[in-house]
Amino acid sequence: MHWVRVTNPQYEQSRHYAGQVGEVVGRWGPENSAAAREGYLVEFGDGEIVGIAADEVQEVEDPALPPRERPRRCD
């Protein structure tokens, strides 16, 4: 199984799922996207399957684990 978390929602259909984890059930690409984007078909806990662009998500190893915080950097 392949799981993703919506981390950067850019479009109306993905904003509702911000922060949620869903299972990838398919892919879509430039050949079937008017804007020539690539992304995933993601099924969420409510049963909806939503097309989400690749730059809106982060891969998740285990959907039961909370997201890891990024280490702080000293600049």
**Which one-letter DSSP state was computed for residue 55?**
G
Select 3-60's CATH number: 3.40.50, 1.10.3470, 2.30.30, 3.90.25: 2.30.30
d(CA 53, CA 9): 9
Q: Going by C-beta distance under 8 Å and a sequence separation of 6 or more, which residues neighbour residue 15?
A: 9
pLDDT tens-digit series, residues 11-50: 899 999 999 999 999 988 777 666 667 899 999 999 999 9
Domain boundaries, the chain: 3-60
**Global confidence as pTM:** 0.76
Neighbours of 63 (CB within 10 A): 14
d(CA 10, CA 15): 7
Rg (CA), the chain: 13
